[in-house]
Structure 1
Amino acid sequence: MTYKDKYNDWLKKADSDTIKELEAIKGNEKEIEDRFYKTLDFGTAGLRGVMGAGTNRMNKYVIGQTTQALARYVIEQGIEKRGAVIAYDCRIKSDEYAKQSATVLAANGIKVYLYESLRSTPQLSYSIRKLNAATGINITASHNPKQYNGYKVYWEEGSQILDDIADAIAENISRIDPFNDVKTVDFDKAVKSGQITMLGKDMDDMFIEEVLSLTLNDDIDKDVKIVYTPLYGTGLVPVTRILRERGFHNVTVVEEQKEPDGTFPTTPYPNPENVKVFEIPLKYGKKTDADMIIASDPDCDRIAMMIKNDNNEFVFCTGNQTGALLAEYMLSQRKEKGLYSPKDAVVQSIVSGSVVPKIAKHYGTHFFETLTGFKYICGLANEFEKTGEYRYVFGYEESIGYCIETFTRDKNGVSAAMMMCEMAGYYKKRGITLYEVLTDIYERFGYMTENQISVEYPGIKGAKVKKHVMSQWRKEPLLEINGIKCSVCKDYINGYEGLPAQDALKYEFEDGSWYALRPSGTEPKLKVYINAMGHSRKEADDLVKVFTEDISDYLAKCEK
C-alpha cells in the first residue's frame, strides 16, 4: 500500500477522533506522507515517536498492533504463563497506553502485572526479575519533548530486548492489521478476574530495600546539602525516599518541577544531559548553599549532577566525569572494605570516556566495552551471571546512565542518586570536595575534555542525508587532526572485536584522543562524540576545540 492508500484506509476504519485529526490534514501531502510513508520503527529500544494519527506516529492503534506482536512472540516461546509487567511514566497518554497494553496481553492469555500509578524504569526492571516474568513493557519516551511517547520492551532478565527478539517482534508487527487482528478485553473485568494484577507499595518496599543494600560506607557526612529535581517525572517518590531512608536530611526538592506533568512547563526538553535543565535548580542550589544538585529524567533511569569548583561556583558534571567519580569511589571502597574480587568487572559503551578503563586497571578490575545502549551493558551482566567468569560491579555510558550491581538490568537513576550522595558525604567528612576528587583523577590518569556534535536530519530527506554522511565518512574518514594521526579505525557496521553489528565508526589517535560517529537509535540525529586527552586541563580543552572545528567542517563537506 502507498502512503495515500494507508491514509484512506485509516479514514475508513479508525475511531471518530482519529478520523477528525486525519481530515484536518486533507490536501497537505507532505504531512500525510510523513505520517504514513512507513510504520514507526520497532527496534531494541522499542518504539519512540511523536503522538498523533498515522502509522508513523505513537497512537492507540500502533500500541495495540505492537502489543499483539509481542503477545504472539511470547506465546511462540511458550512462556506466556510467567506473565508480563507494565509500568509507565508521567507523559501525556502514558497511563492510557499502559492500560491498553495490559488488556491486549490479557486477551491473549498472558498474565499481567500493572503498576497502579507511574513508576521509574529501574522499578520496572527490578519487578520483572522479582516476579520471574517473561517480559515487560515501559510506556515512556525518556527525555524527549512533550510531543513524544514511547514503548520499550524488556525480557526476562529485566534488560531491554536484543536484536534477535526485536527482529522477531518487528516481523510480527508487519503481519498484524491494527484494526482487525488485535485482541482485547475489558480492563475492569480483567482486573476483577485476576488476569491483571495491580502492583504498588509491596514491590516499592522491596525495591528500596535492594537499593539500600548497595551502601558501601556509612562513615559519611549526612548533612551534605542536596538539591534535587525529578523534572516532573517518576523520580520524586523513589529518590526522595531512598535519600531519606539513607539518612540524608538536608534535601531540597525543586518545587516548580516536583509534581508529575507530561507537558514539562519549565523544561521543554527534559534531558539532564543539557545544562539548561539546571536553570531553576541552580537558583535553589545558590539559595541553599548546596554541595550538589542532582536531576533525574522523566523515567528516572538517567541522572546528572552539578558540583562546586575551587571558586565555589557550580559546574556541570558530564556523564563521563560522573562515571569516573563513581568508579573511583566504588572501586576504592570495595578494596578498602574487603569486597573486592578478582572477578570484578566494569562495563562501558564504545562512545564513553577514556578515564574509567584506567581507573578499573588501577584497582585490578576487569574492563569491558560494549556497543551503545544499556541493553548491551546489562547484556554482559546477564552473560557474566550465566558463566560465572566475571562479576558485574558497575556499568555506565556517557549519556548519564549508570547501573550499580545487578538487581536491575537497566540504567538506575535511584541507586545512582544514592551513591552520588553517599560519595559526596564520604569526601565531605574528610574535607574533600567532589571537584577536588575529579581533579585528582585527571592528575593520575590524564586530563580528558569532551564534546558532542549532534546534527538533526528530520523527515524522509533527512534520513537520506544522514545515511549519505555515514557512507562518505566510511569512504574517506578524517584521519589527522592538529598534526595528530589516527592509529586505529573501528567500523562496527559488520561487528568489531566480537561485538554485534551497529552503524558506528570510531577513530583513535596516537595521543589517546578519539572521536566516534553514530546515528541515534531514537531520534533523527547523527551524533559525533569527541574525547581529547592532554597533560593539563588547558591542553585538553584547547585540543577538543580543534577536534570540534575540524570535524564540523568535514561533516558539512560530507553532507553535500
Structure 2
Amino acid sequence: MATDPAELTRRAQAWLAEDPDPETRDELSRLIDAGDHTELAARFAGTLQFGTAGLRGELGAGPMRMNRAVVIRAAAGLAAYLKAKGDGAGLVVVGYDARHKSADFARDTAAVMVGAGLRAAVLPRPLPTPVLAFAIRHLGAVAGVEVTASHNPPRDNGYKVYLGDGSQIVPPADGEIAAEIAAVRSLTDVPRPEAGWETLGEDVLAAYLARTDAVLTPGSPRDTRIVYTPMHGVGRDTLLAAFARAGFPAPKVVAEQADPDPEFPTVAFPNPEEPGAMDLAFATARAAGPGSVDIVVANDPDADRCAVAVPAPGTDDGWRMLRGDEVGALLAAHLVSKRASGTFATTIVSSSLLSRIAAASSLPYEETLTGFKWLARVDGLRYAFEEALGYCVDPEGVRDKDGITAALLITELAAELKQSGRTLTDLLDDLAVEYGLHATDQLSVRVEDLSLIADAMRRLREAPPASLAGLSVRSAEDLSQGTDVLPPTDGLRYHLAGSAESGVEAGRVVVRPSGTEPKIKCYLEIVVQVASAAALPEARKQAAAALTAVKADLSAAAGI
C-alpha cells in the first residue's frame, strides 16, 4: 500500500499517463495539483479485486475505482484467459446497462477482445442482464460480459463475467482471470482497434422474448392487473414487450421511474428491498383506485431481480412487499402444480421451505453457496431461487436469475388464483399450514471500516453462541472449512433446536460478509408448526418474537 506522499504522487502520475478517459484524467490531475494525499491514498491503496462477482466499485480515477483503465485491464485479462483455454478465436458477447460509463466500458471491452484476436458482439443498446446471459448460449459464445452494478448506488458500476455455458464464473476461473489481469503491465501493451466488433441487431432480443413464452402454460388466464416499476433501470421496454406477447393487460408503469436514469433521482438506493424504494409504486397503485391493481411488480435496475407486493388493507401503504423467500416458495408451488420435473435448488441463506415443497413432490433438491453462479451449475436444474429477489424459472433459456420471466410467472400465478377468487396471500397461508410457517428475516449491517466485519466473524468463531433467543444451538458450522457438499466460504451456520415453550419447531442462522457490498449479513429463519389457518396469526406472533430475540442475541454475540 502506498502511503508516502511522494510515492502516492508518483503512482498517480504514472496512472495519469496511461488513463484513456479525459474525465478521469481531469479528476486525477486536480487531486495531484491539490496535493490531496488522503484522497490519493484511497484511490491507490491497492486495486479492485476481481472475483466471482467480477468487479464492482465506485466510479472514479485510480486502481481502486471503476474506470476505463481498470476495465481495459480486466478485458485484457479475460482475453488472455480465454486464449489460454483454447478459445482465442471465439465470440465474446458484451451487454451493458444505463449507468454512467457503461456504454464506454462495453466498447472498450469489445475493442480489447478484437485486439486480442477474438470476435466481439455488443448488444444493440442498454438491455437487461438476462438478455446478455441468454445471448451467450443463443449465439454460441465462449464468454460474455455484462457492464452493470445491478442495484448498487448511482456512483457505482461493475463488470460481470460469464463463460460459454451462460453462467457466471466460479473458482478457479476467477483466480485464473485475476492472475491474467495482474500480468497486464501497461495499457500500451493492450491493442484496442477503433472498429472490428459487431453491434447486434434486434433479432437477439426477439429471440429472448420468444423464449419468455416458454415459462407460461398455454391457455392459462392472463387478466392480472399490475403496477410496474423498472426503478430507473433498463427493464421497462423488455418487460412490456414480454407482457404484450403473453397477452396480459399492459402494466401501469410508475411514471417517475419509467425511464433509464443513471442518477436514480427518486430513490436513495435503487433496490426494491430498501426502505422507501417502492413508495412511488405503492402511490401509483393507490391512485388507480381500490381493487384496480392485483399486484405490484418491480425490477432492479438491470432487471435480473424481481420484487412483488400484494394488497395489505389497513396498512399505511395499503401494500406489503413479499420477501424473496415468499416469492420463491410461491413460484415453486406454481411449478409443482404444473408438474415440473428436475432439481429444485436454493442457497444456504434462503428459506428451507423449498426443501419441503420439493420433498412432498419427490423432486430432487439441492442447496448451494450464495449466488446464482453456484445455483446455475446444479445438475438437472429446473428451478432455483435466492432470497435476494433472484429467480431462475427457465434454466434452458437463461442460466441465471431473470427478473422478466419471473415477473411473467408470478403474474400468471396471480391470474390463476384470481380466477378462483383467491390471492397470492391465500396461497402463502396454504403453504404455511401444509409445511409449517417458515419466517425469515435479516440482520444486515453496513460498515465504512471493513475490519469491523472481520472482527465480528472472528468474535463469533472464537466464542460461538450456545443459544439464541432461548433456543439451544444444536450444531455450529464454520463454512470456511467447507462441508461434504459445499466448497469453503467465509461464513458461519447455526442450527437451532425447537422449543415447546416458544412454539418454535426449529431455527437456522447464517452469518457471512456480503460479496458485493461493505456489509455483514445474518440470515435468520424460524419454523413454527401451524395446525390450521385459524392458528396462523398466533404462529406469526411467535415467529416474529423469536426472530426479534435472535437478532438481539446475535448482534450482542457478534459485537455489531
TM-score normalised by the chain length of structure 1: 0.92
1:510 corresponds to: 497
Q: Measure, in 1, the Cα distance between the counterparts of 2:205 and 2:250.
A: 23
Aligned-partner residue type, residue 27 of structure 1: G
**Contact 1:281–1:293, Cα closer than 8 Å, also in 2:** yes
Match of residue 524 from structure 1: 518
Determine if contact 1:448/1:532 at 8 Å carries over to the other structure: yes
Q: Kindly indicate whether residue 310 of structure 2 is the aligned counterpart of residue 302 of structure 1.
A: no
CA contact (8 A) 1:80 1:134 kept: no
Distance in 2 of aligned mates of 1:20 and 1:244: 46
Deviation of 1:175 (Å): 1.4
Q: Which residue of 2 aligns with 1:548?
A: 551
Gaps of 5+ in 1: 191-195, 335-339, 385-390
Q: Deviations over 1:92-141 (max 9, x none)?
A: 11011101111111111110111120111111111100111100000000
Read off the aligned partner of 1:523 and give its amino acid letter.
E
- Cα distance in 1 for partners of 2:27, 2:51 equals 27
The SS at the match of 2:474 is strand
**Residues in 2 aligned to 1:286 and 1:17: alpha-carbon distance in whole angstroms:** 43
User: Is 1:507–1:516's contact at 8 Å kept on the other side of the alignment?
Assistant: yes
1: CA distance, partners of 2:37 / 2:443: 32
1:394 is aligned, of 368, 378, 383, to 383
The counterpart of 1:441, out of the listed 428, 431, 439, is 431
The corresponding residue for 1:486 is 473
What pairs with 1:248-327 in structure 2 (closer than 5 Å)? 248-288=248-288, 289-309=292-312, 313-327=318-332
Once residues 546 and 218 of structure 2 are traced to their aligned partners in structure 1, the CA distance between those partners, rounded to angstroms, is 38
Distance in 2 (CA, whole Å) between partners of 1:210 and 1:466 is 42
Q: How does 1:199-218 map to 2 (within 5 A)?
A: 199-216=200-217, 218=219
Aligned AA (1:408): V
CA 424–217 in structure 1, closer or farther in 2 if over 3 Å, else same: farther
Q: Deviations over 1:267-323 (max 9, x none)?
A: 231111225211001011112231100000111100101012476931110000000
- Whole-Å separation in 2 of the counterparts to 1:499 and 1:414: 30
5+ residue gaps, structure 2: 499-505, 530-538
Secondary structure of the equivalent of 2:93? strand
Following TM superposition, by how much is the alpha carbon of 1:13 offset from its aligned partner in structure 2, in angstroms? Answer: 4.0
- The residue number in structure 1 matching 2:245 is 245
1:158 aligns with 2:159: no
Matched ranges for 1:35-184 at <5 A: 35-184=43-192
Counterpart AA for 2:224: V
Q: Structure 1 residues 453, 482: closer, same or farther in 2, change over 3 A?
A: closer
Who is 1:419 aligned against? 409
Identify the match of residue 361 of structure 2 among 340, 343, 363: 363
Partner of 1:387: none
**Which of 310, 329, 353 pairs up with 2:334?**
329
Structure with more contact order per residue of length (Cα contacts < 8 Å, sep ≥ 6): 1
Flag the 1:250–1:78 CA change in 2: closer, same or farther, 3 A. closer
Q: Does the residue aligned with 2:309 lie in a helix, a strand or coil?
A: strand
Distance in 2 (CA, whole Å) between partners of 1:261 and 1:440 is 40
Query: Mean alpha-carbon deviation: is it higher for 360-369 or for 462-471?
Result: 462-471
Residue 217 (structure 1) shift: 5.4
Cα distance per residue 1:149-179 (max 9 Å; x no partner): 0000000010101111110111111111343
Q: One-letter code of the match for 2:476?
A: C
Separation in structure 1 between the aligned mates of residue 194 and residue 470 of structure 2, nearest angstrom:
67
Aligned-residue offset at 1:43: 0.3
AA in 2 matched with 1:269? F
SS in 2 for 1:369: strand
C-alpha distance in 2 between matches for 1:104 and 1:292: 44
Contact 1:44 1:161 survives alignment (8 Å): yes
Please tell me whether residue 450 in structure 1 is matched to residue 440 in structure 2: yes
Letter in 2 for 1:327: A
Amino acid in the other structure paired with 1:242: A
Report how far residue 21 of structure 1 moved.
1.3
- Shift of residue 204, structure 1, vs aligned partner: 1.1
Once structures 1 and 2 are overlaid, which stretch shifts more, 257-266 or 8-17? 8-17
- SS of 2:450's partner is helix
Structure 2 residue 10 is matched with structure 1 residue 21: no
Letter aligned with residue 557 of structure 2: Y
SS state of the match for residue 379, structure 1? coil
d(CA) in 2 for partners of 1:436 and 1:529?
Answer: 25
Give the equivalent residue in structure 2 for 1:224.
224
Residue identity opposite 2:478 in structure 1: D
Q: Report if aligned partners of 2:442, 2:522 keep a CA contact under 8 Å in 1.
A: yes
Q: 1:354 aligns with which of 331, 352, 355?
A: 352
Give the counterpart letter for 2:223 in structure 1: D
Tell me which amino acid in the other structure corresponds to 1:166.
D
RMSD: 1.6
Q: CA deviation at 1:29?
A: 2.8
Q: Deviations over 1:362-393 (max 9, x none)?
A: 1111110000010000011xxx2xxxxxx321
Q: For the residues of structure 2 that align with 1:240 and 1:277, how far apart are their CA atoms?
A: 21
Q: Is the 8 A contact 1:48 1:58 kept in 2?
A: yes
Distance in 2, Cα, partners of 1:522 & 1:59: 17
Instruction: Measure, in 2, the Cα distance between the counterparts of 1:213 and 1:487.
Output: 44
What is the aligned partner in structure 2 of residue 410 from structure 1? 400
Letter of the 1:278 counterpart: M
